[in-house]
Structure 1
Amino acid sequence: MLDDLDRRLLRQLQADPSLTAAELGARAGVPPLKASRRLGRLQELGILQGQHAVIDWRALGYAVAVSLRVTLDKAEPRAFDTFLAAARKLTHVTEIQTFLGRVDVRLNVIARDMAHYQQIYREEILQLPHMADLEALMTVATLHTDESLPL
């Protein structure tokens, strides 16, 4: 599906997403127009889905990160849909993942401090519908994070 040129362009883009098509082309060894066309093709194929800003929430005063593992009440037919719709509305939830197995959903929650987290937990998290079980795991340290792919 991907050829060597596609991989070179994507590797360069992963290394520095701020590069222009001309700069990516120069680093990948192809003319700017060819690089631009290839990047457009990768977007059309849905491989390259755009760029986004990465904001360090700690720099904005958020010091607490908690991962909540939620098991839903499976006796309720619309439990997943209703729960996910409500969870999406919570401003301090930074990520929602669904799973197969004992745990159905994982929510990542950020807060300024423990008092703020307690407030979010009591006023927002515990109000979410159809929860049968809830386990909180507090992040102590993030040792490695890498979204780049081995291209």
Structure 2
Amino acid sequence: MNDTLDAIDRKILEALVINARISIAELSKKVGLSKTPVSLRIKRMEDIGLITGYRAILSPLKLGLQHVTYVEVRVSDTRQKALEAFNAAVRLIPEVEECYMIAGGFDYQIKLRSRDMAHYRQVMAEKISALPYLSSTASYVAMEAVVEDSPGSF
């Protein structure tokens, strides 16, 4: 995939990550091309699945979700059907911001956002604990966000 991206594509991506609402005219000025080639490049990157969509990014803090907890999860069954059931169930929990299957000492890592410790305890007791094939959990409360929502490099 990286072989198909040139320096201009990377500049376009960088600008879109920073501001997906940038106009084609403004983006064209930033990358030094006219509007048509910039539009065609964006369309190509969408068509090949590099750009998968555009969305509003909400502030969890402004929504009152300032409590972040990372939860290590161990499951009792790692056969495909069990993993699919776990994956489907965890996707239905709105407080789960991220969930990754992990190769290591546990099976999943969940990033959970809640209003406060009481809300976190409620989510753990009523939602996380009810996940299928859950064997055990270990929780780690974040004290401060040092890097968050970094767009990466292109």
Change (3 A) 1:61 1:102: same
Change (3 A) 1:33 1:77: closer
CA distance in 2, matches of 1:127, 1:54: 29
Is 1:113 equivalent to 2:122 in the alignment? Answer: no
Q: Name the residue aligned to 2:88.
A: 85
CA distance in 1, matches of 2:60, 2:79: 35
CA distance in 1, matches of 2:23, 2:36: 11
Q: Name the residue aligned to 1:18.
A: 21
Q: Which moved more, 1:23-32 or 1:70-79?
A: 70-79
Q: Name the residue aligned to 2:76.
A: 73
Counting only pairs closer than 5 Å after superposition, residues 89-104 of structure 1 correspond to structure 2 as: 89-104=92-107
Q: How many residues align?
A: 151
Shift of 1:30: 0.4
Query: Any runs of at least 4 consecutive aligned residues in structure 1 with deviations exceeding 3 A, and if so which?
Result: none
- Mark the runs of 5 or more structure 1 residues left unpaired by the alignment: none
- Mark the runs of 5 or more structure 2 residues left unpaired by the alignment: none
Counting only pairs closer than 5 Å after superposition, residues 1-150 of structure 1 correspond to structure 2 as: 1-74=4-77, 78-150=81-153
Percentage of identical aligned residues: 26
CA distance in 2, matches of 1:92, 1:57: 11
Across the aligned residues of Structure 1 and Structure 2, the Cα RMSD in angstroms comes to: 1.7
Q: TM-score normalized by structure 1?
A: 0.90
Q: Please tell me the residue identity of whatever aligns with 2:151.
A: S
**Other structure's SS at 1:100 match:** coil
CA distance in 2, matches of 1:14, 1:123: 36
Instruction: Write the deviation string for residues 44-65 of structure 1: whole angstroms up to 9, x where unpaired.
Output: 1111112211111111112211
Q: TM-score normalized by structure 2?
A: 0.89
CA distance in 1, matches of 2:16, 2:123: 37
